[in-house]
Amino acid sequence: MKIVSVELYHVCVKLKKPFVTSLSVKEYTNSIFVKIKTSSDLVGLGECCPTASINGETHETCFVVGRMIAKRFIGQNPLDIDANVGLMDQVIYGNTSIKSAFDIALYDLAAKAKGCPLYEYLGGAINKRIFTDYTVSLGPVAEMVQDAVKVKDDGFKIIKIKVGGEGKEDVKRVGAIRKAVGADIELRIDANQGWGVEEALATLIAMKDFDIAYCEEPIKRYKFDMLPSIREKSPIKIMADESVLDHYDAHRLINTGACDYINIKLGKSAGIYKALKIIKAAQKIGMKLQLGGFVESNLLFTANCHLAHTADCCSFYDFDSPLFAKENPIIGGMKYGEHGEITLNDAPGLGLEIDERYLKHANKLIIT
- For the chain, the straight-line distance linking the first and the last C-alpha, in angstroms and rounded, comes to 15
What is d(CA 21, CA 211) in angstroms, rounded to the nearest whole number? 22
Quick check: is 89 catalytic?
Answer: no
Q: Is 190 one of the catalytic residues?
A: yes
Count other C-beta atoms under 10 Å from residue 127's C-beta: 7
Cα–Cα distance measured from residue 332 to residue 352, given in angstroms and rounded to the nearest whole number: 4
CB 57 within 8 A of CB 270: no
209 is annotated as an active-site residue? no
Q: Does the active-site annotation cover 312?
A: no
Pairing of strands 3-11, 31-38: antiparallel
Task: From the candidates 241, 246, 296, 320, give the one annotated as an active-site residue.
Answer: 241
> Does residue 103 carry a catalytic annotation?
no
Q: How far apart are CA 280 and CA 302, in angstroms?
A: 21
Taking alpha carbons only, the member of 274, 356, 259, 363 closest to residue 316 is 259
In the 3-class helix/strand/coil scheme, how is 238-287 assigned residue by residue?
Answer: EEECCCCCCHHHHHHHHHCCCCCEEEEEHHHHCCHHHHHHHHHHHHHHCC
Q: Which of 35, 37, 112, 265 is catalytic?
A: 265
- Say how far apart CA 171 and CA 141 lie, in whole Å: 10
Which residues are tagged catalytic?
162, 190, 216, 241, 265
